[in-house]
Structures are given as C-alpha cells and as structure tokens.
C-alpha cells in the first residue's frame, strides 16, 4: 500500500515536470504579452474608449470557440473534485487572448485566473495523452494549478498550498503536495529562465516603541490590536468584493435579454467612472504606474501612496469589469484593494504603512478565495518570515469575517457539511 502510494507520487511527479515546463513557458509568454499590452495602453490612452467594443469581442470569442470554458476557474475546481478531465484544450489560449484584450483596453482585472486556467487545461491535455484516470488525473490537475499560480506570482510554496486549499476548505490533499510543490517550483523556474521577473515588495523595519509592559512581553499589544481591527476590515472588504461580483452578475443577467449588451454597458461604466474620477489609476492591473504618482500596489507600501477610497474604487472597477464578461482574474485587484486599504488604515490607526499594506495584500486575498493558509505562506514568500505571526493573524481573521461565499462558487460546494 505504501509502495503503491510511493509509485503514484513518483509517477504523477514525473508527468508534472514537463507539464509544468509548458505551463511555465505559457505563463511567461502571457506575462510578457500582458506587460506589452499594459504599456501600450499607457502610451495610447484613447484605447480605453474602445473598451465596450473589446468586451463585445471577448463576448463573441466565448460564444464561439470558448463556449465550454466560460466557467473558468470554477470548471477546473469542479473537474478536480469529480476526478474528471473535461477541461477543453482551448481554455488556455482563449483565456490568454481575452485577458490580454481586457488589459489592452483598460479593463480592471487580474491574471491568476488566466494562469490557473492555462495550468488546468495544459494538465488536462497531458492527462488525456497519458490516459490518466482517477486520483492520478486529480493530482496532475492540482499540480497544473500549482504550476500556473506559482509561475504567475513567483511564489512556488504558495502555489502548491493554494492548489490544495482552493479545492475545499479544511481539507488538504497531502498526497498532492509533493507533485504540486515540484510543479509550482518548475513553473516558477521556467518563468525565471525566460527572464521574466516579478515586482519585489519590502516591509520597512518597524521602530521599537517601548511601553509599560515591554520589560515583560516581547510584543507590541497596541500593534496587535491594530492588526486585528484592520484584518476585520480586510475580511469585510473581501466580503464586499465577493457580494458585489455575484450581485452585479446576477443583475446583469436579469436586466439584459441580449447578453452581448452587458460587456458594452460594463465598458461604458468603466469609461464613465474614469472620466468622473479624472485619473486612470484603477484601470488594468495596478502594478506598474501609468504616470509618476499614480496609485499602484507598490505605491501603497509608502506613506501617501494611496487615497482614502482607492480600495473602494478598485473594488467597483474590478467587480464591474469581471461581472460584465471581461477576463483575467481577481487576485491582483484583490492585492491592490488590500494594499491600498492597508495604507488607508495605517494612516487612520497610526500604524506602520508598509506592514499594513502587506497585511492587506494577503488578507483580502485570503478572505475572497478562502485560502488563509496559502495566503500566510504568500506573506512569507513575498515579504519574509519576520512577521509570520501577524500574517497568520491577518489571514485567518480576514478569512473568518469574509462571509460564507468566496469568489470561486465551485469552492463552496466542496466544503463538507458539518
């Protein structure tokens, strides 16, 4: 029995390595193309006005070649739960192209959905070639997600844990962890080998603030209390995001008989909001700055790098963009929402800005995707291990206050009933 388990891990790991090299290469190509598209729009600002048209094109791409892959991440989560491989091979190219279109014209979206779907569809393709079934197929699909996620953010451990945790809260598939970890590592290394780099974040040193208990307790209780309060807010922000995403989508489906009108309206609202606010900060990915002084994820790590309501605007932009049919993912916008909200809360609570931006970055993501363990690891991989206690507090508190439904609706159904 032990040997059968050993052979399975060995077999799935060996299969996962070429799978992950392919996934990593596609993710590298995607990241390169995405960066081109984002910077092309920076130089051609009029592209935003074509956003409704871009939405229409995306709509028809999914109506024709992409039909069966419209359920995106949820389809992959479902297929893994069913130990099935019914993931269309076209899912990868279709999500890649439509995500780049979304960003080229200024839609506010992320990229993890794209990476996960590239990972899932490539893994399913290999699964068919190798005639994998049952738990073998399941493990290779999980490895595919891990490779995609690990590659797109440069965080292999997080990729492996995320792939496990996103399937069902509270159940960790330990037998998939070794293949998943190796897949995520290979995916990440493949991206590096193509010389694609990730943004580096940094938490500034926190000056010691001695108080009356300092001689007894090696912790700043006031800081811990601030982290708790903020994490509650991070959880509620992720609840707001999930609710808005679901509600706007439901409303759109109810109001419009002709579904193709939805992306047009979505595009028009994004244009209107941008004209109203008079600045393009909340468009697209939010990592690179369109102009000096723009609010971005990196800027949120510095005092004055976000405005009081930046987090809300990004929530509005992103939920409208995605609910009206544009493509990409939610995670990078969630990082943006969390980091800017952390920035705002740090100012309000007189707390260290870069630390709170980092906590928001991981905690809003934890709440919205229901993956608090993966997000704690992401904190360690991106920001170092010094604040692992605060990362854990933030992710689990935010997870707890994030409500019952996350952004992945398929996730919920996999939770075992109590």
Tell me which residues touch a second copy (CB under 8 A): 1-2, 6, 9, 156-157, 160, 169-174, 177-178, 181, 185, 189, 192-193, 195, 216-219, 372-373, 377, 380-381, 384-386, 388-389, 392-393, 396-397, 399-400, 403-404
Identity of the residue, 207 or 218, whose beta carbon is nearer to a second copy in the bound complex? 218
Identity of the residue, 216 or 291, whose beta carbon is nearer to a second copy in the bound complex? 216
| DSSP codes, 265-288 | HHHHHHHHHHHHHT--TTSS-SSS
How many angstroms separate the CA atoms of 77 and 87, rounded?
10
The CA-to-CA distance between both ends of the chain, in Å, stands at 30
Least separation in angstroms between residue 154's CB and a second copy is 9
∠ CA 30-33-39, nearest 5°, is 135
- Please name which of 20, 138, 12, 161 lies closest in space to residue 79, comparing C-alpha atoms: 138
Buried b (16+ CB within 10 A) or exposed e, 62-96: beeebeebeebbebbbbbbeeebbebbeebbebbb
Least separation in angstroms between residue 64's CB and a second copy is 39
Identity of the residue, 14 or 172, whose beta carbon is nearer to a second copy in the bound complex? 172
Identity of the residue, 34 or 184, whose beta carbon is nearer to a second copy in the bound complex? 184
Least separation in angstroms between residue 331's CB and a second copy is 20
Identity of the residue, 214 or 303, whose beta carbon is nearer to a second copy in the bound complex? 214
How many angstroms separate the CA atoms of 73 and 70, rounded?
9
Cβ count within 10 A of residue 176: 27
Identity of the residue, 70 or 381, whose beta carbon is nearer to a second copy in the bound complex? 381
Least separation in angstroms between residue 83's CB and a second copy is 12
How many angstroms separate the CA atoms of 16 and 136, rounded?
11
Least separation in angstroms between residue 96's CB and a second copy is 23
- Please name which of 6, 43, 54, 41 lies closest in space to residue 264, comparing C-alpha atoms: 54
Least separation in angstroms between residue 135's CB and a second copy is 8
Least separation in angstroms between residue 172's CB and a second copy is 5
- Please name which of 303, 290, 345, 337 lies closest in space to residue 317, comparing C-alpha atoms: 337
Identity of the residue, 288 or 381, whose beta carbon is nearer to a second copy in the bound complex? 381
Identity of the residue, 131 or 195, whose beta carbon is nearer to a second copy in the bound complex? 195
Least separation in angstroms between residue 395's CB and a second copy is 9
Identity of the residue, 5 or 255, whose beta carbon is nearer to a second copy in the bound complex? 5
Under 8 Å CB-to-CB from 162, ≥6 apart: which residues?
Answer: 145, 146, 149, 369, 371, 374
Least separation in angstroms between residue 353's CB and a second copy is 21
- Please name which of 317, 318, 319, 325 lies closest in space to residue 258, comparing C-alpha atoms: 325
∠ CA 370-96-193, nearest 5°, is 90
Least separation in angstroms between residue 157's CB and a second copy is 5
Q: Which whole-number Å values give the CA distances from 114 to 123, 269, 278, in the listed order?
A: 14, 24, 30
Identity of the residue, 13 or 108, whose beta carbon is nearer to a second copy in the bound complex? 13
The two tokens of residue 314 are: 């990004």
Least separation in angstroms between residue 74's CB and a second copy is 21
119 and 147 Cβ atoms separated by less than 8 Å:
yes
Identity of the residue, 170 or 272, whose beta carbon is nearer to a second copy in the bound complex? 170
How many angstroms separate the CA atoms of 205 and 214, rounded?
18
Under 8 Å CB-to-CB from 189, ≥6 apart: which residues?
Answer: 24
How many angstroms separate the CA atoms of 402 and 376, rounded?
16
């Amino acid at each position: 029995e032990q040997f059968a388990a050993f052979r399975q891990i060995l077999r799935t790991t060996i299969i996962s390595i070429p799978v992950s090299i392919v996934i990593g290469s596609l993710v590298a190509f995607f990241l390169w193309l995405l960066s081109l598209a984002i910077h092309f729009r920076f130089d051609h600002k009029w592209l935003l006005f074509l956003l409704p048209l871009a939405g229409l094109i995306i709509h028809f791409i999914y109506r024709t070649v992409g039909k069966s892959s419209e359920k995106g991440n949820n389809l992959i989560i479902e297929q893994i739960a069913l130990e099935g491989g019914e993931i269309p091979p076209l899912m990868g190219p279709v999500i890649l192209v439509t995500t780049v279109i979304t960003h080229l014209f200024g839609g506010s979206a992320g990229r993890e959905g794209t990476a996960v779907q590239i990972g899932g569809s490539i893994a399913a393709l290999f699964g068919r070639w190798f005639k994998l079934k049952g738990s073998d197929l399941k493990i290779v699909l999980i490895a595919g997600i891990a490779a995609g996620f690990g590659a797109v953010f440069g965080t292999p451990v997080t990729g492996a844990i995320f792939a496990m945790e996103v399937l069902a809260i509270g159940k960790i598939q330990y037998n998939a962890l070794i293949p998943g970890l190796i897949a995520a590592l290979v995916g990440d290394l493949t991206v590096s080998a193509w010389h694609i780099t990730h943004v580096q974040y940094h938490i500034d040193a926190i000056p010691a603030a001695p108080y009356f208990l300092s001689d007894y307790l090696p912790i700043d209780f006031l800081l811990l209390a601030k982290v708790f309060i903020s994490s509650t807010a991070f959880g509620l922000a992720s609840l707001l995001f999930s609710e808005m995403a679901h509600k706007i989508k439901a409303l759109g489906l109810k109001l419009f008989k002709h579904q193709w009108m939805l992306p047009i309206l979505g595009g028009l609202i994004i244009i209107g909001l941008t004209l109203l606010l008079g600045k393009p900060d909340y468009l697209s990915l939010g990592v690179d700055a369109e102009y000096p002084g723009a609010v971005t994820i990196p800027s949120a790590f510095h005092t004055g790098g976000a405005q009081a309501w930046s987090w809300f605007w990004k929530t509005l932009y992103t939920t409208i963009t995605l609910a009206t049919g544009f493509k990409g993912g939610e995670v990078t916008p969630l990082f943006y929402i969390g980091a800017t909200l952390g920035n705002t809360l740090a100012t309000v609570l007189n707390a260290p800005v870069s630390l709170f931006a980092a906590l928001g970055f991981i905690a809003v993501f934890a709440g919205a995707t229901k993956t608090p363990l993966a997000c704690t690891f992401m904190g360690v991989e991106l920001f170092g291990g010094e604040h692992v206690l605060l990362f854990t507090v933030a992710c689990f508190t935010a997870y707890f206050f994030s409500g019952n439904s996350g952004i992945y609706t398929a996730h919920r159904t996999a939770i075992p009933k109590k």
